[in-house]
Amino acid sequence: MIGKLKGIVDSYGEDWLIVDVGGVGYLVTCSTRTLADLAKPGEPAVVFVETVMREDAIRLYGFASEAEKEWFKLLQSVQGVGARVALAILGTLSAADLANAIAMQDKAMVSRAPGVGPKVAGRIVSELRDKVPAIGGDIEFAKLSGDMAETRVVSPARDAVSALVNLGYGQSQAGSAVAAAMKEAGEEAGAETLIRLGLKELAR
């Protein structure tokens, strides 16, 4: 089983790249985000790999980080999500944004990925709410997933994040601020309180 490749990028296409490792070229299927993150042809690259073995083929799926790789495996535990859909999601959302979407039960954010309808997005945020892996090291999930993963995210929190996003803050940034606000004000705090405390957090 191949878990990681370290070599030179030989070439790449719409959803794949070839990594030259000691003269052997490995064809690796990747998300658009991974392709953008990895080095250009002729430059060194480290690719984290998930090897999928089937009766008729062995396919390598590549990722720029361990976080992407873990999400790839986790997403496929949801009914209706195969490798292609998982890659589409990871090509649209970063690991932190995906963690935020699940913590906030924001299926609209997940459904932004090509080929992901409302039903599948709903299953993803629902079924993975309690399954977000507690991975340490160099994998960085949004603060929101750590502070709120064990709680049921209520409407005021979603409303507060939405309000902060409308004010121009990024989804991950707004989610982290609201998570901090909920920690300070309590889970029963209303949207207005969370927005006020969230803005205070963002101003620090």
CATH number of the domain within which 14 lies: 2.40.50.140
- Which of 105, 129, 150 corresponds to the end of one domain? 150
70 and 58 in a common domain: no
- Which of 64, 83, 105 corresponds to the end of one domain? 64
How far is the C-alpha of 141 from the C-alpha of 97, rounded, in Å?
8
What integer pLDDT is reported at residue 175 of this predicted model? 80
- How confident is the chain (204 residues) per 10-residue block, as mean pLDDT? 94 94 97 88 95 90 91 94 95 85 85 94 89 41 41 64 82 80 82 89 84
Beta bridge partners of 59: 52
The distance in angstroms from the start CA to the end CA of the chain is: 46
144 and 78 in a common domain: yes
117 and 88 in a common domain: yes
53 and 28 in a common domain: yes
Number of domains making up the chain:
3
133 and 82 in a common domain: yes
Query: Other CB atoms closer than 10 Å to residue 165's CB: what's the count?
Result: 14
74 and 57 in a common domain: no
The answer to whether the predicted template modeling score (pTM) of the entire model surpasses 0.75 is no
Q: Which residues contact 203 (CB under 8 A, 6 or more apart)?
A: none
What integer pLDDT is reported at residue 134 of this predicted model? 40
What integer pLDDT is reported at residue 174 of this predicted model? 81
What integer pLDDT is reported at residue 132 of this predicted model? 62
122 and 82 in a common domain: yes
Which two tokens mark 70? 């873990």
- Which of 134, 150, 166 corresponds to the end of one domain? 150
* CATH code at position 114: 1.10.150.20
| CA 10 remoteness from chain centre | 27
What integer pLDDT is reported at residue 81 of this predicted model? 96
165 and 199 in a common domain: yes
73 and 122 in a common domain: yes
3-state percent breakdown (helix, strand, coil) of the chain, nearest 5: 45, 20, 35
70 and 60 in a common domain: no
How far is the C-alpha of 48 from the C-alpha of 70, rounded, in Å?
10
DSSP 153: P
Domain of 93 in residue numbering reads as: 66-150
What integer pLDDT is reported at residue 146 of this predicted model? 42
52 and 32 in a common domain: yes
92 and 129 in a common domain: yes
What integer pLDDT is reported at residue 155 of this predicted model? 66
* CATH code at position 176: 1.10.8
Distances (CA, A) of 192 to 17, 163, 171, 178, 199: 48, 10, 18, 11, 11
